Structure 1
Amino acid sequence: MSLRIPVLAVFFMMLAAPLQAASGEALPDAAPVLESALETAPVDIDGQLLFKVRGVSSFPAEERAQAIRRRIEKVAADLSFPSDGLSTEVVENVTMIMAGETTLMIVSEADARLEHTSRDHLATLNLIRIQRAIDEYRQSRRNDVMLKAGLYGAGATALLALGIAVLLVLNRWLDKALSHVLESRVHAVGIQSFEIVRSETIWKTFHGLMLVIGVATIVVSAYAYLHYVLALFPWTRSLSNGLFIIAAGAVERMGKSVGAMIPDILILAIIYYLSRFVLRRTQRFFDAMAQKRVTFAQFEPEWALPTYKLVRVLIVAFALIVAYPYIPGSESAAFKGISIFIGLVISLGSSTAISNLIAGYLMTYRRVFKVGDRVKVGEVIGEVIAIRLQVTHLRTVKNEEVTIPNSQILNGDVTNFSSMAGTRGLILHTTVGIGYETPWRQVEALLRMAAERTLGVLREPQPFILLIKLGDFAVTYELNVYIHDPHLIARIYADLHRHILDVFNEYGVQIMTPAYEGDPDQPKVVPREQWYTAPASPDERKASSTTDDRP
């Protein structure tokens, strides 16, 4: 029984709390919150703020402020009524500020709570402000004050006109003086003989800058003039205050914007200089690898430059990702829209470029070929003169430059004549058809003799001969020789064929290639005494043997 009494007491106390709130005890705490959310409007006379008043649904704050202002101006315009004749009168739960029999405004308890003071105190303060406003209203409209304001306005107008004239003359004089001083020092900006920016363009830009400075100075002077002159007269004083508020608001917004951007700009500067530092150190590291001052196993020095370019792209991309949130305006819809548009254009238009780029790196790391190699790509044979990330440049034996996309090279067959020529040697081969009546041992000996006479053919490994076909009319022999320099292929072939003709003619063996229809009475050979029949001369053989097929 003793335990039930405390439990019931706690239960009734919990019920009592909501009942107390419902009974109205919580209203005083909530009232300031509700009142602070009410709309207010300023009451100003000649651009000077007196106080703010609140409104109700049936009488909005703006209409109430306009009515109070009109009544105060009407009383102020009546010079027969003294300003110290204002009084307050309490009627029920409001206080009225009276000007004789005219009610200027009513101060209620709600108005007092809005200002966090008592009703009587607020009424007294408002009365003092109204009295001061009436005195200033009458003072500013006196004849001597108006005359003085007019003189000041005329003086300010004359001063503005004089200042604009002086600014125009000074701007023109300064422009001529600087032009005379800097005329011999400003030249066109260009690269070698190509002018990027002409000197006339630089001068036009300079003159335009001087003009902009002059116009900006005149605009600022006109603004200061309007602000001063409009403040001289009571009817335009509110316009003067409006101009000041506009300018102050613009400066404040600009200051806040710049102040908000300063931390982001500092972070962007740190990211920029840190990325620049990393890029420089990375470039020096890969330059050392290219110069073989730093070596790694299974890493070729030729890979240093393309690897640096790839690492540089990754570093720059990472820096941009980190810096993106700190770029001013990056959160705006316009910035995001432009970014999406640029990304879409790049993704749609760069598929081929990206495939060529990837193919270029794959070719580099797969060691397909290097600059200086003699290669065959498709139907094109030439020397590699440049390997770019997008394309590869070949120079043919006819001194023609052929540009081949890297993706085409990666997807096709590539024959590299230089990769093994320096070590195992490159094999050149040619075929001849000789009749069955000629012993094959003699033919092979003649072919070896022709190979020995040819410059550029290696003695080791020795040339070898294959009998590749027993034809209807002749036996086809294939001569294979080794060379080290693939750039001399055309010359060695030509020289080898000359020596084959000479050797077979020298020993009276007829070459039956490609075929014949009957045996002639005499072998079709050229006697030695006719080898240099005019206009040929013995010197031509020596000249032809030194010919190089390099362009």
Structure 2
Amino acid sequence: MKSFMIRIATLILLLAFAVGLCANAGSMFEIADKDNTLSSAPVIYGDKVLFNIYAGLDDFSAHERAVVISKRLKDLAEAVSLTQDSLHIQIEESRRHILYADKLIMIIADADTIALKEDADEIAGAYHSLISERFIQLFISYSFKDNIFSIIKTILLAGLVIALAIVLFRLLARLMDMLKRLVARFKKEYSLGIVVRGFRILTAEQFDKTLSFLISLTNLILIIILSYFALYFLLYVIPYTRFIALQLQAYIMHPIAEVGQAILHYVPNLLFIAVVIFVSRYVLKFLRYFFDEVEKGNIHFKNFYPEWADSTYQLVKFLILFFVVVIIFPYLPGSDSPAFQGISIFVGVLVSLGSSSAISNIIAGIILTYMRAFRIGDYIKIGDKEGFLIETSLLTIKIKTVKNVEISIPNSVVLSGNITDYSSYAREENLILHTNVCMGYEVPFQKVVEILKDAALKSEGINTKKEPFVHIKNLNDYYVEYELNAYTDKPESMARLYSELHRNVMLGFEAEGISLLLPTQSAIKIKEDKA
């Protein structure tokens, strides 16, 4: 029942549209006749004014056009026997030609659309109707028998169109029922939804709603198409409404023809864009291979380090893609239209305003890459954050702390602060760990130095091939400040090494019976009691 009501509503809307076309044909010329700014020239056959011309065409004025059209109609009346079926409209780019068979009667151009303030198809349809009713009708005479035969023929053809439309609508209803049964079967088969390689694309409810929407949309589109053709053929088989059918046809075919011509004209540009994209794609593939080989060390350049390879490729890739966009932009459809250019400027302004911090991070990332301030896997300290460098990009770096906390730091912050890399020299010359110990003057310094060196050598992770050393930093009032220095090639274990080093220092002094308490002296002034 619902589908039947939709079909009836669609037919009523299309019929109302067709009636509106018919009414508009008369009102168009009535408005033009009342406009004092337009000069009209009559097209005359015999002593009868058929219609008026309101604009010139190329080098012809409106009056000269009217004279030419009048002469064409006169010649046509004398040359052939006229019938309604041979009068038609032909589309030629932006113009509409009204012809009888292959003989031109008149041309509808842009000047007519400006003067009458209507679309070229509507103007052509209106003139077609006037020529049919006021000119060709003059030469058609029917006997009573012919009239009866024509009426019966029209009724039979109209009945055939209606019957065929009813059959097609019923077939459409059956097709929709089949699709609904098919959907019900799919719903049972995909009760868990659509899952591809373990990833759920649609849930069961979403799958049901999507299929129902697609079926309803398909049903609506097919109803509109069938209703259009049913109305078109119904109007076409009736001689007095045939011009409305032709106008309906023009409304559909004209946009399709324009789209087809636009696609055809765009083919060279499309081929150019395809060639540019094809070439750039394989250039990028070659550069990817080239920089991969540089990163692996198979290709060497003086003063170009392998760790620069990936960043350099990304930078070159961005520049190539940028130039590709610049090259193909003028060849995009609508790129020369003011609307397209306005939207492009608007988007550009939004991007420039919203990406200032992103651009500063990208520039900082490029600078940091070629500074070689650090490498992946290094143990670094930036500000008060320290940890292993696990990832670098054009926008941020990521470090992992010894507490397994991942921290992202913008490149602009990294570049503007201090960068401490504990790993850069630890690979070859080792990192020096140092800690301070204070001891009173009563303990011989030789004994303190011996205990500190021994504590360092007993710590796991300290390089025993390089002897630790002790500096006497300060001679204070009551104690001496010593600094123990020891080598390690494991900067990533600094926290553990310091802990073990401190533990061994305490155990060393404890084994020698030396306390780590510092001697202090206090002075207290006692006020005399005069009482």
TM > 0.5:
yes
Could you say if the C-alpha distance between residues 495 and 222 of structure 1 is closer, same or farther in structure 2, counting changes exceeding 3 Å? closer
The answer to whether residue 480 in structure 2 is matched with residue 475 in structure 1 is yes
Relative to structure 1, the CA distance from residue 176 to residue 445 in structure 2 (aligned partners, 3 Å threshold; closer, same or farther) is: same
5+ residue gaps, structure 1, are 1-56, 72-108, 519-551
| Counterpart residue type for residue 451 of structure 1 | A
Farther-moved stretch of structure 1 (135-144 vs 443-452): 135-144
Does residue 1:312 correspond to 2:317, yes or no?
yes
Structure 2 CA distance for partners of 1:208 and 1:344, relative to 1, 3 Å:
same
Q: Which amino acid aligns with 1:302?
A: E
Task: Write the distance in 1 (CA, Å) between the matches of 2:346 and 2:64.
Answer: 56
- Distance in 2 (alpha carbons) for counterparts of 1:67 and 1:210: 60
Q: Is the counterpart of residue 340 in structure 1 residue 320 in structure 2?
A: no
Taking structure 1 as reference, are residues 149 and 447 closer, same or farther at Cα in structure 2, changes over 3 Å only? same
SS in 1 for 2:240: coil
- Asked whether the equivalents of residues 430 and 479 of structure 1 are also in contact (C-alpha less than 8 Å), the reply is yes
In 1, Cα distance between equivalents of 2:251 and 2:265: 21
Pair 62,447 (structure 1): closer, same or farther in 2 beyond 3 Å: farther
Cα separation, partners in 2 of 1:512 and 1:476, compared to 1, 3 Å:
farther
1:251-279 per-position Cα deviation (integer Å, ceiling 9, x unaligned):
32122122122222222222232222222
Instruction: Indicate whether 1:302 and 2:307 are aligned.
Output: yes
Over alpha carbons, which structure has the higher Rg?
A: 1
String of CA shifts for 1:39-93, please: whole Å, max 9, x gaps. Answer: xxxxxxxxxxxxxxxxxx997236758984669xxxxxxxxxxxxxxxxxxxxxx
Residue 517 (str. 1) matches residue 512 (str. 2): no
Partner of 2:383: 378
Compared with structure 1, are the counterparts of its residues 467 and 63 closer, same or farther at alpha carbon in structure 2 (3 Å cutoff)? same
Matching residue of 2:140: 136
Distance in 2, Cα, partners of 1:206 & 1:260: 37
The corresponding residue for 1:267 is 272
The alignment covers a number of residue pairs equal to 422
Structure 2: distance between partners of 1:193 and 1:507: 67
Post-superposition offset of 1:485: 0.7
Match of 1:150 among 143, 150, 155: 155
Say whether the 8 Å CA contact 2:42–2:50 is kept in structure 1: no
Q: Cα gap change, 1:136/1:210 in structure 2, threshold over 3 Å: closer, same or farther?
A: farther
Name the CA shift for 1:242/1:68 in 2 (closer, same or farther; >3 Å): farther
- SS in structure 2 of the partner of residue 386 of structure 1: strand
Measure the CA separation in 2 of the matches of 1:339 and 1:438: 80
Q: Deviations over 1:351-409 (max 9, x none)?
A: 11111122122222211112221111111221212223222222222232222211111
Distance in 2, matches of 1:315 and 1:136, equals 72
- Distance in 1 (CA, whole Å) between partners of 2:426 and 2:38 is 103
Relative to 1, partners in 2 of residues 1:473 and 1:129: Cα closer, same or farther, differing over 3 Å? Answer: same
> Does structure 1 conserve the Cα–Cα contact (< 8 Å) formed by 2:42 and 2:66?
no
Under a length normalisation based on structure 1, what TM-score does the superposition of the two structures give?
A: 0.68
Change (3 A) 1:441 1:142: same
The match for 1:424 is 429
Shift, 1:410, TM fit? 0.7
- Tell me if structure 2 keeps the 8 A contact 1:112–1:122: no
- Measure, in 2, the Cα distance between the counterparts of 1:223 and 1:299: 70
Partner in structure 1 of residue 498 of structure 2: 493
The 1:188–1:64 alpha-carbon spacing in structure 2 relative to 1, beyond 3 Å, is farther
3-state SS, counterpart of residue 299 of structure 1: coil
Q: Secondary structure at the match of 2:391?
A: strand
Other-structure match for 1:250: 255
Q: Do structure 1's residue 410 and structure 2's residue 415 form an aligned pair?
A: yes
Does the 8 A contact of 2:399 with 2:407 survive in 1? yes
User: Residues of 2 paired with 1:472 and 1:252: CA distance?
Assistant: 102
Distance across 2 between alignment mates of 1:280 and 1:186: 43
TM-superposition CA deviations, 1:104-125 (whole Å, max 9, x none): xxxxx9679847x9x7x98454
Q: CA deviation at 1:187?
A: 7.8
Q: Distance in 2 between matches of 1:411 and 1:419?
A: 20
Instruction: Letter of the 1:301 partner, please give it.
Output: P
CA distance in 2, matches of 1:457, 1:279: 48
Q: Distance in 2 between matches of 1:295 and 1:191?
A: 44
- Of 400, 403, 417, 1:398 maps to 403
Q: Which amino acid in structure 2 is aligned with residue 61 of structure 1?
A: A
SS at match of 2:394: coil
Distance 1:486 1:124, change over 3 A: closer
Q: In structure 2, give the amino acid aligned to 1:343.
A: G
The structural deviation recorded for 1:481 is 1.0
User: RMSD value over aligned CA atoms?
Assistant: 3.4
Structure 1: distance between partners of 2:333 and 2:66: 46
1:235 aligns with 2:233: no
User: Cα–Cα, structure 1 residues 326 and 197, in superposed 2: closer, same or farther, change >3 Å?
Assistant: farther
Given that 1:431 and 1:479 are in contact with CA atoms closer than 8 Å, whether structure 2 keeps it comes out as yes
Shift of the 70–355 alpha-carbon distance from structure 1 to 2, 3 Å rule, reads closer
User: What is the one-letter code of the residue matched to 2:501?
Assistant: L
Cα pair distance change 1:481/1:191, threshold 3 Å: farther
Contact 1:374 1:486 in 2 (8 A): yes
Q: Could you state the TM-score of these two structures normalised by the residue count of structure 2?
A: 0.71
- From 462, 476, 495, the equivalent of 1:457 is 462
Residue 169 (structure 1) shift: 1.0
Q: Which deviations, in whole Å up to 9, do the C-alpha atoms of 1:277-323 show, x marking residues without a partner?
A: 22222222222222223332322222222222222212211111111
- Identity score, percent: 32
SS state at 1:402 partner: strand
Say yes or no: does 1:60 pair with 2:40. yes
